[in-house]
Structure 1
Amino acid sequence: MLKPGITYSHEHIAIDLSGIKNTDDTRLDCMEETVREFKDLYEKGVRNVIELTNRGMGRDVAYMNEVSQLTGISVICSTGFYKEPFFPEEVYSLTEEELTSLMVKEIEVGIEDTGVKAGIIGEIGSSVDKFEESELKVFRAAIEAQIKTGRPLITHTSLGTMALEQVEMFRNRNMDLDKVIISHVDLSGNAEYILSIIRTGVNVAFDTIGKENYQPDDLRVEMLKKICEEGLSHKVLLSMDITRKSNFRYKGGIGYAYLLDVFIPKMVEAGISKQDIRNMTESNIRRILLQEER
């Protein structure tokens, strides 16, 4: 259930990529610290988190539910498959139709035996500058699941690449492009490229905020200001995509609240209006999820 208030549109509460990444840092199993940070987010107006840990990524719905119950923040769970090399075996052994059926079942019936229905398809990913064949298979299956259920589809772009190629796949199936959110476009560092994506009709997410080892946040603000000046803030979402324990405050990281405490004040200082910020943090995701008109 989407509550009125701020939504973090691309996060991970319980995720385990440690087998591929070969580091325990990418296993989020720090319940106490997550609850502490989420209670802080609640005090600052956050009411919803879109949780994009899907099949094969260490998804733990019971864990997510406990965080939600202890903090008051609504967690919207996802279905789908990530990207190479993080796919579970079923991506290779099942047909596209069977993969679609799995996703539809998790949306309409529930995830495993939890009774929790997925509200989002995602994050569905492509590799840097290319689609692997297995990724194309997942995209085709996810597109069919989106068409069957009407649920929004959130994609992953590796370093911001392949966004326009993803859009072309959606166009070929006549999808409602306003139900698509293309993630990590801020990693491209290219405002004109991002504007070209938005102008196709899809939504985009600046959702690696605070990860300055990829792009400086000042550049993110500069790109967002240009998008707002073009009158397109209604097509942008904000989030942080925290996937490592080292991102948490108890480990000396920036923490989930960085978006609110540091980044949004930078946007205000740059002259981005409160209405544009409200669009990116509250209104847009409601439209996408609930078909509310802006």
Structure 2
Amino acid sequence: MAIDISGYTYCHEHLHIDLSKQKNDIDCRLNQYELISEELIALKSRGVFNIIEVTNRFMGRNPQFIENLTKDTGMNILLSTGHYIEGFFSPLIYNQSAKDISLDMIRELNIGIKDSHLKASLIGEIGSSNNHFSTTEKKVFEAAAMAHYETGKPISTHLSLSTMGREQIALLKKFNVNLSAVTIGHCDLRDNLDDILWLIDQGCYIQFDTIGKNNYYPDKKRVAMLCELGKRQLLDRVMLSMDITRRSHLKVNGGLGFCYLIDEFIPQLKLNGITEQHIDQMLKITPYTLFK
């Protein structure tokens, strides 16, 4: 599946995810097909044509659900392969080698995802825990590096509360991954401009992908950091998204909904001097550069 360059791309989303068992909360089972379809149709009418869906197998990935969404909404959806973070792993991978794990990723990238007509388009979201890298998380990163070598597909990562970005890059460097094929997720959950500048300097892309999650970090601070990156002419290394994961995040359920980024956050950026050219860069050109 290729990116449609004529429209915007959300770089980090979940259209079907189920973390309800681990979190003991039915709200974490995002599977309301009609509501999600309606939001995607509305989103497409606003110029968003592509979604990078970073749910992997043991997070509740459902390729049949995605196939139907693509057919019913016309949204271009790119799927992922990989493993998330400690606490959300299949018991199987603890006894697998990095090589074995990589072969499974490669199969989904090159041949396809079981019981569907879809292939994975990227490796993600693979992550580290809050201020910690477990042994198995490191093994998943090694497997991701192997899969990247074999397929050339990009890697999308997860930072827990914007921690461990430097450590993720150090590990990927250890495995000789080309950092221009890496995007670091959830960089926008705390005051960490120095870390962001360091990450960009290493050659990777960064994601401001929890837009609207003001209970974690206020959007006004996200705007301020993006303006600072704009002053340094670094917005070409940034992509945007919302990381919707719960039923309560959907508009009809009282949440902000998928359109919030376009309807409300982008106008905030423009009011603070971010140009249309910058917005096209973050939502159109940079995602195409990485995920094409």
TM-score over 0.5 for the alignment?
A: yes
Match of 1:280 in 2: 282
Matches within 5 A, 1:132-151: 132-151=134-153
AA aligned to 1:58 is: G
Normalised to the residue count of structure 1, the TM-score between the two structures is 0.97
Over residues 94-131 of structure 1, what are the superposed CA-to-partner deviations in whole Å (9 max), with x where a residue is unaligned?
21111000000000000013131100100001001110
Distance 1:25 1:198 in 2: 35
Q: Percent identity?
A: 42
Residue identity in the other structure for 2:32: C
Matches within 5 A, 1:200-279: 200-279=202-281
2 CA distance for matches of 1:134 and 1:172? 16
Shift of 1:90: 2.1
Q: Could you tell me which residue of structure 2 aligns to residue 152 of structure 1?
A: 154
Q: Deviations over 1:176-200 (max 9, x none)?
A: 1111000000013222221111111
- CA contact under 8 A between 2:210 and 2:242: conserved in structure 1? yes
| CA–CA distance in structure 1, aligned partners of residues 152 and 92 of structure 2 | 24
Q: 1:148 Cα deviation (Å)?
A: 1.2
The aligned residue for residue 172 of structure 2 is 170
Structure with more contact order per residue of length (Cα contacts < 8 Å, sep ≥ 6): 2
Contact 1:55 1:88 in 2 (8 A): no
CA distance in 1, matches of 2:252, 2:286: 32
Alpha-carbon distance in 2 for matches of 1:192, 1:56: 33
Q: Match for residue 38 of structure 1? A: 40
Cross-structure match for 2:76: 74
| Structure-2 separation of matches of 1:45 and 1:155 | 26
In the alignment, what sits opposite 1:2? 3
Deviates more, 1:171-180 or 1:103-112: 171-180
Query: Cα offset for 1:138?
Result: 0.7
Counterparts of 1:21 and 1:33, CA distance in 2: 22
Q: How does 1:108-127 map to 2 (within 5 A)?
A: 108-127=110-129
Using the TM superposition, give the Cα deviation of residue 228 of structure 1 relative to its aligned residue in structure 2, in angstroms: 1.1
Q: CA shift at 1:139, angstroms?
A: 0.9
Q: Would you identify which runs of 4 or more consecutive aligned residues in structure 1 move more than 4 Å?
A: none
**How far 1:274 sits from its partner (Å)?**
1.1
CA RMSD of aligned residues (A): 0.8
SS in 2 for 1:186: coil
Q: Name the amino acid aligned to 1:277.
A: I
Count how many residue pairs are aligned between Structure 1 and Structure 2: 290
Alpha-carbon distance between aligned partners in 2 of 1:250 and 1:84, rounded to the nearest angstrom:
32
Displacement, 1:210?
0.1
1:55 maps to a residue whose letter is R
1:175 partner SS:
coil
**Cα distance in structure 1, aligned partners of 2:190 and 2:200:** 14
What amino acid is the match of 1:216?
P
Q: Secondary structure at the match of 1:78?
A: strand
Q: SS in structure 2 opposite 1:10?
A: strand
Q: Deviations over 1:33-84 (max 9, x none)?
A: 0000000001000100000110211110000111111111101000000001
* 1:189–1:220 contact (8 Å) kept in structure 2: no
Question: What amino acid sits opposite 1:14 in the alignment?
Answer: H
Tell whether the 8 Å contact from 2:128 to 2:158 is kept in structure 1 after alignment. yes
Match of 1:187 in 2: 189
Q: Structure 1: how far apart are the matches of 2:201 and 2:20?
A: 37
